[in-house]
Amino acid sequence: MRYISTRGTAPVLGFGEAMMTGLARDGGLYVPETVPEFSHAEIAALAGAPYEEVAFKVMRPYLGGFFTDDEFRGLIAKAYEGFHHAARAPLVQLGSNHFLLELFHGPTLAFKDFAMQLIGQMMQAALARTGERITIVGATSGDTGSAAMEAFRGLANVDVFILFPHGRVSEVQRRQMTTPSEANVHALAIDGDFDDAQARVKDMFNDFAFRDGVRLAGVNSINWARVLAQVVYYFYAATALGAPHRAVGFTVPTGNFGDIFAGYIARRMGLPIDRLVIATNQNDILDRALRLGEYRTDGVRPSISPSMDIQVSSNFERALFDAYGRDGAAVAALMGELKAGGFRISQGALEMLRGTFASGRCSEDETLAVIARHYRTTGELLCPHSAVGVKVAEEHVGLAPMITLATAHPAKFPDAVERATGVRPGLPPHMADLFGRAERVTRVPNDLGALQALVRERVARR
């Protein structure tokens, strides 16, 4: 299996290199050259299998032999053993034809753990072969950062720097990033929003002297291995509800477009997904793009679902690459226009995108109303991101079962949940002392040079 860049000029890589590289050297994102298709019988055989077995079968064709089968099974087992639910991703029924896929039973209580725990295991195994050291730098809207720190803390040959927007993550999210005591993890609060943090990380990758000097590696959702790990739960949930014998739909609370892009890959692999619905909060650039045919940024408005407060959805570039007939030069030109504010999507590409994705948005008031109604009718608390998904899904439920991805645990966003219901969700036992732990964080300016100096200095000190 070979991986090519969405901008067409970076070197073609194998799985291991694509995983360790993150962002391609031409500024693009790596995608598999071809997507393997599963037969009806192969998909049917996944029904009822343990999560780890589904993970092995779905991901194996993408590895190109980088890990042996035994090695890969071992890494998968370790990645998910720390989850606090035997099913890993349990399904809960919400209505006659509507289900919730709970993806928040991992160690940091958001779906990011599914990919991050596995990539942590895979990178460790790859580094152990060569004795190499790497520096991971990532931007987070709140949940990626804690998941990355949890996956890599304490490792001898990895330093992890996480940039999060100062004052724009929930207190639980912040504390999850600032309280790990290991010397190899570094929480950096940047003066800016998530898009600024993500842009500075991309700048660091595009500075090749810096990139090679500190051996930069990325674990943001631009990393193909993360998308791949998320493809698994689409197969797991769909086969539990009757696929491949019947089709299902998915609604995905969307920010950086990584999670829903994994659903798109699952569909291309042959999983019968009849609707793939993008759910956005008031930062609705993706919903507008699909409706109006124009991808144009207009500033982030902080919301009660902060992990989706994003304008520039990195992984949308992967969808555009396919929509533009895999023309890297065309994608590179669009991304240039985006830097100047936005672009109009061509008619052909728009038709492809509209044929593939549906979309909807959910306002702040609607988010609170869904959390309140859900609590009244079921006694269960929804996190605000999952509530955005539920609201949009309800507008799209049809004959096929609809599965809404519940992306985080309500206790990560207690203020919003309490505002909606009057009930403050408690942290699960393994995190009960979070508010008593000491915090360690460095406030940093939105300035590339200053950030690079800090990273160099801390890496040299270790």
What residues make contact with ligand PLP under the rule CB under 6 A? Answer: 110, 112, 143, 221, 253-259, 307-308, 385, 407-408
Core vs surface per residue 380-407: b (16+ CB within 10 A) or e: ebbbbbbbbbbbbbbebbeebbbbbbbb
Which CB atom, from 257 or from 264, has the smaller least distance to ligand PLP? 257
Query: Which tokens hold the place of 141?
Result: 């809207």
Task: Give the nearest distance from C-beta 257 to ligand PLP in angstroms.
Answer: 5
Who contacts 373 (Cβ-Cβ below 8 Å, separation ≥6)? none
User: How deeply is 153 buried, as exposed, middle or buried, from its count of CB atoms within 10 A (0-12, 13-18, 19+)?
Assistant: middle
Catalytic residue among 57, 78, 112, 339: 112
Task: Name the CA radius of gyration of the chain, rounded.
Answer: 20
> Please, what is the minimum distance in Å from the beta carbon of residue 142 to ligand PLP?
6
* Residue 78 bears catalytic tag: no
Beta strands (DSSP E) in 26-151 are 30-32, 91-95, 98-102, 134-139
What is the distance of C-alpha 199 from the center of its chain? 17
State which residue, 143 or 287, has the beta carbon closest to ligand PLP: 143
- Report the residue number, 88 or 112, with the smaller CB distance to ligand PLP: 112
341: tokens are 């504010």
By beta-carbon proximity to ligand PLP, the closer residue of 227 and 459 is: 227
Of the pair 63, 169, the CB lying nearest ligand PLP is at 169
Query: Minimum Å distance from CB 163 to ligand PLP?
Result: 15
**What's the rounded Cα separation, in Å, for the pair 318 and 222?**
9
Q: How many residues does the chain have?
A: 462
Burial class (CB in 10 A: 0-12, 13-18, 19+), 146: buried
Positions annotated as catalytic residues are: 112
